[in-house]
Amino acid sequence: DAGVTQSPTHLIKTRGQHVTLRCSPISGHKSVSWYQQVLGQGPQFIFQYYEKEERGRGNFPDRFSARQFPNYSSELNVNALLLGDSALYLCASSSQGNEQYFGPGTRLTVT
């Protein structure tokens, strides 16, 4: 079985640009969560989607948005990038319950 996949693996953007990150959950998992992990810190919750609906939102500005598609894959969008948005963005999928399985992450660098 394939695990959670994310694309791209690495990305370099300039301040003010927009970025879209993608995630495919484990087959059969209907829930996808997004986390931001700054170097040396724990993952910070951004969004959670279940059955294509937003079920949770963390303390992130409106520049961050996400959506989930009918096949349960998901996109995270970040507008007007700031230097402080540089981080590892992790996607996690789960079925019912909270056992989350993480993807390899997308390393975003904003210059």
Partner 1 sequence: GENVEQHPSTLSVQEGDSAVIKCTYSDSASNYFPWYKQELGKRPQLIIDIRSNVGEKKDQRIAVTLNKTAKHFSLHITETQPEDSAVYFCAASKEETSYDKVIFGPGTSLSVIP
Q: Are 1 and 98 in contact (CB under 8 A)?
A: no
Q: Cα–Cα distances in Å, from 35 out to 1, 64, 78?
A: 23, 11, 13
Told to check if 5 binds partner 1 by CB under 8 A, we report no
Strand partners, 80: none
Told to check if 44 binds partner 1 by CB under 8 A, we report yes
Q: Are 74 and 22 in contact (CB under 8 A)?
A: yes
Place of tokens 């904003």: 110
Told to check if 70 binds partner 1 by CB under 8 A, we report no
Told to check if 54 binds partner 1 by CB under 8 A, we report no
Told to check if 90 binds partner 1 by CB under 8 A, we report yes
Q: Are 52 and 69 in contact (CB under 8 A)?
A: yes
Q: Kindly write out the interface string for residues 92-111 of this chain, putting x where it contacts partner 1 by CB under 8 A and - elsewhere.
A: x-x-xxxxxxxxxx------
Binding test (CB under 8 A) with partner 1, winner from 45, 60, 64, 86: 45
Binding site for partner 1 (CB under 8 A): 30-31, 33, 35, 40-45, 48, 50-51, 55-56, 58-59, 90, 92, 94, 96-105
